Structure 1
Amino acid sequence: MAHATDLILSSSSRLLTLYSPPPLQNAHQLPLPPGSLVSAIAADSSDNTQTLFPFLDSDATAPTRLLLLLLKRVVSGVQPTGSIHLGNYLGAIKNWVTLQDTYETLFFIVDLHAITLPYDVQELRKATRDTAALYLACGVDISKASVFVQSHVRAHVELMWLLSSSTPIGWLQKMTQFKEKSRKEGGENASVSLLTYPVLMAADILLYKSDFVPVGEDQKQHLELARDLAQRVNNLYGGRKWKKLGGRGGSIFKIPEPLIPQVGARVMSLTDGLSKMSKSAPSDQSRINLLDSKDLIADKIKRCKTDSFAGLEFDNAERPECNNLLSVYQIVSGKTKEEVMEECKDTSWGTFKPLLADAVIEHLSPIQVRYEEITAEAAYLDKVLSEGADRATEIAESTIHNLKQAMGFYL
């Protein structure tokens, strides 16, 4: 098929990087040298790639099959509510740009998650398109990654419902974010979707047979739920029980692993170094949005919360704002932690804030220019999202078929 061929061609130049994953904690290197993998796959007469990659032509060549078996898959997404801010970018999207050079990647706009809390109906469509445009402006490359809107792949909702039948309600009631958000919504006034959206998040991950999921420290609980659900469903319906129903047997779902960046995974608020930078924070002063003007960025950094200690330093528990701002500076400037420590150890806040503002502005400027170019071409963005959804649907339908078969549905 044409799309599969495009994927192979665009990925062929990345084979050399497969053995040098980016500097991420828990990043799994392939256990065998290339020669061993080639030999193993060449000697394998079974059609494993056809099962793993249903979109692939049955007569695909050995190099094609080898490439697809080598590529591990990563999926991730961001909600289209509010503006994408520096925390979203440094904690997620910037890392995606690195991951797409090493893995097969699918990045989507999670619009179904955006409706779990009250939202502006008029803004949802625009925010969805804007978020997609920012993905591309930040460097997500459609020759390497599939970009699509979550609701455009209906299998997300279908898998959520199938998983819900195997999800103990007690698991969901223990979720930290449900407790916090339902309390804000007034307890009984909270929507059912606020309780069940972790199941949708699990579906987002498991639907695409994901090997790895980029997560921040605060999102580990959701990934653990996805892993627990995958294991539960595998035990309930997989193995010999699935084989008796005509399936291949074995595990229905892969058990995904986390990828946690060493820096930038948790960018904190400008007004409180102990709180994560968030779209839902009442004050816009607490965050730097990717589309903020130069003057607004400089003003927000000028007014951000600091402390009265002399000099600047990383990793002092009594100075959370200092650690946060230095970490941001480290990433946007491209310097090492050691270089920043040496540069800033004797620096005052009055000197450092303009330095940080200039570095942030310089880093975001090309993103803002590219965003304007992309949003000026509506047809181009529509095409990108349509093709991304088609690619995602090919993978998703295979997963849904396997699970429904294993659960005993008449197909």
Structure 2
Amino acid sequence: MLYSNVGQAIADALKDTLGGWGMWSAIIATVSVIGLGFFLAARGIFKKEWEKILVRVVMVVGLPALALNGFLANATVKDIIEQLTVLLTGFAFYAIMMFVSKYFFFKYEKDLQDTFAMCIALASTTFFGTPIVTAIYGGAAAMPANIFNVPYRVFLYSLAFMIMSKKPMAATVDGKVSTKKLKSEMTEVEIAESRKIKKNALKNIFLNPILICTFIGLFIWVTQLIPGIDLLTVKGVEYKQIAGTSVFEKVDKIDKYSFLRIDILFPPAKTILSTLAGICTPLAWLAIGMTMAKGNLKEALKDGKLWYAASVKVIVAPLIILLMIVGVAGIGSATDWFTFSKVSLAVMVIMTAAPPANVVVAYAISYEKGANAASNLTTLSTLLSIITLPIWVIMVTAVGALPMFG
């Protein structure tokens, strides 16, 4: 009977997802706008330098607004425990992947092994993943996406930086031998430049506008549980049914909110944030298309190593986090300590299935670690991600119908 009920729940979830336009509209919109960006860049209508401008606008304006806006919601102890579970699961996943991913490429030379490993471990969760999951799952995806991006950014700008900047005596770069200097062999200018790069990495962690808005929003959201902080009052009305009748009467009500809720204190703030967050998705998709046009897709399609790495990126990595989440959700369900929502499951898996992070590619270029391979891997992975996206949506819909997910 239990298996029959579970099977029916999965079948109903898949029917609702596949039978409606919600998911398909989001996926078709994603593919269409990315394709438009590719076409306009390939035809020269969009100039190459525009890509950096679009990326900058998204990273400095759109995504920070989306991050802050996502936390302007009421909080309960249950909600906070769930998001804490997302955070800890994210840290565990990235900690594992940072060390395990290199073993998928143990036969490759050291530089290429490091680059492919970091490309597998660190997806473009912010720039590629966040706009897609919010397009598919709406505002409910914003909070888990923001939370999941915290450990991602910590590892991206710390351990990934250390791995990618580590320079051996000699290494192979894109099939060519390249002699690299140890720190003892570097000039004062080179040492100063190295320190500058490390300083910029730390700056990206602590002064990143997305992370700053995430922590501000998280603070506003969590502190709503502090007794006595609900000093803002909003008068409203509700309709209650008169006992024993079918008549509803209008009753005055007063809602209380934390004085930190800027959307309640100054209502236009919500509109401003929503407007700025709205530019995030279309600009990000156009920029992704332009990135694909810039890469050498023909060269990538001919490289067996890239096909292998891209397959690991869009299939194996999300499968690993899917299994981790099922295990964590199972523990929560069995102990009744916490719940793991199906939206959080979907967000984390789909974001992990995104192409490699652009920052990892930048590391590969800066430190001469298979720069061409990293760039082509991103192009091929982006193409495969678009193809596998509907498959992962279907997969997480089926898994999310299991009783362990709230």
- The answer to which structure, 1 or 2, has the higher relative contact order (CA under 8 A, 6+ apart) is 2
Q: Give the TM-score band, short-chain normalised.
A: under 0.3
Higher helix share: 2
TM-score normalised according to structure 1 size:
0.23
Give the TM-score, by structure 2 length.
0.23
